[in-house]
Amino acid sequence: MQDKQQPRRYFDPEKLEKLAQSIQEHGILEPLIVRPLTDDTYELICGDRRFKASQKIGLKEVPVNVLLLDDNQVKEIRLIENLQREDLNAFEETEGILELLAIKLEMPTDSVVSLLYKMANEEKGNSNQNVLVSSKSQIIQNLFNALGRLSWQSFVSSRLPLLKLFPDIQQALRNGLIEYTKAKFINKIKDQSQRVDFLEQVVSQNWSLRTIKEKICALNNTQTSTEENQISTENGDYPKRVTSVLNQIKKMRLWSDPNKRSKLEPLITQLEQLIAANSA
């Protein structure tokens, strides 16, 4: 039996082991779904996790239902089954729903994302593309109603932003290592090496969301302090010198002496021109 193009990319080893033990005790309670490829070869459509667990305990045969399905039907069934999992993480859910919408709307996933944003803009009154959006919106609304997991509006606001995360954060989400609420904050670390180290600590030490926020805040403060020190070093004693000169001019009231005032005037004019040019 072949296992091609399964939408699920990650299986928790511990949960797979528990399923294998359950199958060894009680057998497979729900048949797998397959379709025939040749006389003696079948493609696995649904039940990938049960099939892998059966292999772990050395089962030679498993119960199946054989269905005649085309490629689009296969993709749709697989995606729907995957979206019904209880342990589905946010990133897998996002990818699965987008792929399912791509099939239903007959367009690439990138175009689906653009369409969803257009729908959101239209709902807010910020779009002039009513005809384009409304011709597809019913299909989208029907799918989200059928799935019953979240509304398309919530999907746009809370799930689509996950596609903009750094690849290493996306992979951690896909593998179920972190929750998406944590991922959004870790993604604020722009330096890759810092982010990778930070992510490893989050996973290994199971940091809470509160701890993550505190650590990132401390990290940002350290970076800001370093940048300020660098600027101070580059500028040398200029701020102190400027303050000192101004204080002495005021103290000595240099403008009271006509001779000194005539020398001070062009200097003040130059400073005013410098400030004006810098403000432009």
Q: What is the DSSP annotation of 57-126?
A: TT-S---EEE----HHHHHHHHHHHHHT-TT--HHHHHHHHHHHHHHHHTS-HHHHHHHHHHHHHHHTT-
pLDDT at 2: 54
Please name every residue paired with 66 in a beta bridge, in sequence order, or none if there are none: 34
Give residue for tokens 């990938």: 48
Give the pLDDT score at 259.
81
Nearest-10 Cα torsion for 189, 192, 194, 199: 80
Determine the pLDDT at residue 258: 82
- Distance, in Å, from the CA atom of 253 to the CA atom of 261, rounded to the nearest integer, reads 9
DSSP β-bridge partners for residue 46: 33
Query: Is 159 within 8 Å of 93 (Cβ atoms)?
Result: yes
The 10s digit of each residue's pLDDT in 122-175 is: 887 765 555 455 778 889 999 999 888 889 999 999 899 999 999 999 999 888
Q: For the chain, what are the domain ranges?
A: 1-87, 89-164, 165-234, 238-273
Separation of alpha carbons 237 and 271, rounded Å: 18
Q: Locate 6 and state its tokens.
A: 């399964």
Residue 81 and residue 8: Cα distance in Å, rounded?
10
User: What CATH number was assigned to the domain covering residues 1-87?
Assistant: 3.90.1530.30
Q: Which of 81, 12, 67 is nearest to 37 (CA)?
A: 67
pLDDT of 157 reads 92
Given this model, what pLDDT does residue 22 score? 92
Residue 266 pLDDT:
82
Per-residue model confidence (pLDDT) at position 116: 93
> pTM score > 0.85 for this model?
no
Question: Which pLDDT does position 168 carry in this prediction?
Answer: 94
Instruction: Report the distance separating Cα 152 and Cα 224, nearest Å.
Output: 39
Q: What is the mean pLDDT of each run of 10 residues along the chain (280 residues)?
A: 58 85 90 86 88 91 91 87 78 90 92 92 68 75 89 93 93 89 91 92 94 89 60 61 80 80 83 73
pLDDT at position 167 is: 93
| Contact between residue 254 and residue 261 where contact means Cβ atoms under 8 Å apart | yes
User: Rounded to whole angstroms, how far apart are CA atoms 44 and 259?
Assistant: 97
Closest CA to 183 of 172, 197, 193: 172
